[in-house]
Amino acid sequence: MLKETPLNRARLLIACHDRPGIVSAVSTFLHKYQANIVQSDQYSTDPEGGMFFMRIEFDIQKEGQLFSELKSAFEAIAKTFSMNWQMELAHRKKKMAIFVSKEDHCLLELLWKWRAGELHVDIPLVISNHEDNRKEVEAYGIPFYYLKINKDNKREAEQQAIDLLLEHDIDFIVLARYMQILSSHFVETFPHKIINIHHSFLPAFIGANPYAKAFERGVKLIGATAHYVTDDLDEGPIIEQDVLRVNHRYTVDQLRVAGRNIERIALARAVAWHTNDQIIVHGNKTVAFS
């Protein structure tokens, strides 16, 4: 069970070109509004003209201070430094939709962590192109939507999924071994809001059947990669990766079984980091604050 988050706790993420005065301006602003900084992390790619990234957790101390007013007031600072930024209340539960096909190991890991209070999210729905996991999902009290997909109806099925996600005001989507390639339209509708788990240590073995490819190559390490989805297949910004050492005795099926454990771990970490506002996307990379 996660420690209960104070109702007055907020998080601020910043990305901008590095220049003098950023930290001072942000801390002065928060001090002006009587906010108390409880954690601050920053990273600069190059102090001379590089990029600057920052994550701050702070408590709003002023009695009656509205978060919306604070957020609105920060826009002036953001404009001065041409920041890409977001400010969130830490206690707000993000709404997470899960997409799954037949395999259930990643799905069940997320559901178990959610029920155990280890993922600070709401799960309004699970969408699948197969009926296999309906009983498991509904046992958690979560609505399960079956959307049959084939080559003739893919556009219509995707639009049904988009309509459901918008209807439930979803914050982000997790592809828990959802074995479908999403269209450009779908990806563009939810930019940097779709997390996928790929059963390989990217950039190796992109696409289908990575364990068979790994077996043929005789690898000594197998891995899994959690990343944001873009139009380029399995090439979106990487959030988390993990590996496991194997040897020549492993068959393809044994590699697949071992890999499932890595997939579950890597995906759950990535979801937790996204949920806790620990990720900044910059180009095709991410900055992941601990």
Which are the catalytic amino acids?
Answer: 234
3-state helix, strand, coil in the chain (%, to 5): 30, 30, 40
| Both structure tokens of 107 | 């799905």
Distance from C-alpha of 99 to C-alpha of 222, rounded to nearest angstrom: 24
What is the C-alpha separation between 273 and 152, in angstroms, rounded?
A: 37
Q: How far is CA 250 from CA 200, 218, 244, 245, 266, in A?
A: 16, 10, 12, 11, 21
3-state class (DSSP) for residue 254: helix
**Distance, CA of 219 to CA of 183 (rounded, Å):** 32
Q: Is the dihedral of CA 174, 177, 180, 184 positive or negative?
A: positive
Token pair for 50: 């590089």
Angle of helix 252-275 versus helix 105-115 axis, rounded to 10: 40
CB 18: neighbour CB atoms within 10 A? 18
